[in-house]
Amino acid sequence: MKLQIDTRVSSSVSQVAAGFQSDLFQALAPPFPRIKLLKFDGNKVGDIVSLELNFLVFKQRWTSKIVHFEEREDLFSFIDIGTELPFFLKSWQHRHHIYQESDNSTIISDQIQFTAPFGLSFLLWPALYLQFLYRKPVYKRIFNKNR
């Protein structure tokens, strides 16, 4: 199953790319489940990002590996795939695609492909959509003040 959420910000691609660090990752975390960042190597090929999801009554580990990275003046893109996923996910691929839309704006595009066990992806889609929709105002707050 796929979902995509695009956010327009008034920063250059290089400004947005420079901001894709562990502090941004933590700012993007929704209020629930609580997320503890265990490891953040970065966003280049081979880097690992690992976190713990706290659902109050149980915890789940989520680890992803960066498998693609591309950077140009007008584009910053990397893809992570899940290597250790919570029980409710069977597969995960997240493409972070940041590109120059015009002289005054850049698009941050979260493009996700996932599957859930037992063909239940359609049940998970709304929750994941809301989790990523939560990122839009965070991206705007952080990156609209950079110009």
Domain range summary for the chain, segments of one domain joined by +: 2-143
Rg (CA), the chain: 15
CA distances from 132 to 45, 58, 96, 136 (A): 23, 22, 12, 8
Give the fold, CATH level 3, of 2-143.
Alpha-D-Glucose-1,6-Bisphosphate; Chain A, domain 4 (3.30.530)
- Using a pLDDT cut of 90, give the percent of the chain over it: 94
Q: What is the pLDDT of residues 22-61, one digit of tens each?
A: 999 999 999 999 999 999 999 999 999 999 999 999 999 9
SS3 content of the chain, % helix, strand, coil (to 5): 25, 45, 25
Q: What is the pLDDT of residues 62-93, one digit of tens each?
A: 999 999 999 999 999 999 999 999 999 999 99
Per the DSSP assignment, residues forming a β-bridge with 107 are 8, 99
